[in-house]
Amino acid sequence: MRVLLTGAAGFIGARIWARLAQAGHEVVAVDAMLGAAHRDGAQPPPQCRLLDIRDAAAVGEALTGVDVVCHQAAVVGAGVNAADAPAYGSHNDYGTTVLLAAMFAAGISRLVLASSMVVYGQGGYDCPVHGPVEPLPRTREDLDSGVFEHRCPVGGEPLRWRLVGEDAPLRPRSLYAASKTAQEHYAVAFNDSVGGSVVALRYHNVYGPGMPRDTPYSGVAAIFRSQLQSGQAPKVYEDGGQMRDFVHVDDVAAANVAAIEADLGGFTAVNVCSGRPVSILDVATRLSEARDAPAPVVTGQYRHGDVRHIVADPARAAELLGFRAQVDPRAGLGEFAFAPLRD
Mean pLDDT of each 10-residue bin along the chain, 343 residues long:
97 97 98 79 89 98 98 85 91 97 98 97 94 92 95 95 96 93 98 96 95 72 91 96 97 98 95 97 97 96 90 97 97 93 78
| Separation of first and last alpha carbons in the chain | 33
Whether residue 169 is contained in a domain is answered as yes
Residue 160 is given by DSSP the state E
Same-domain status, 169 and 253: yes
Cα separations (Å) of 41 from 33, 55, 182, 318?
A: 8, 20, 30, 40
pLDDT at position 332 is 96
Residue 180 and residue 316 in one domain = yes
179 and 201 inside one domain? yes
Which residue range is the domain that position 156 belongs to? 124-137+144-161
Per-residue pLDDT at 77:
80
Distances (CA, A) of 5 to 19, 60, 97, 300: 12, 13, 16, 42
pLDDT at position 13 is 97
In a domain, 44, yes or no: yes
Provide the whole-model pTM: 0.95
**Number of C-beta neighbours around residue 315 at 10 A:** 13
CA distances in angstroms from 224 to 117, 228, 294, 335, listed in the order given: 21, 6, 12, 14
**Number of domains, the chain:** 2
60 with 153, same domain: the answer is no
Amino acid at 122: Q
CA dihedral angle for residue 285, residue 291, residue 296, residue 301, rounded to 10 degrees: -100
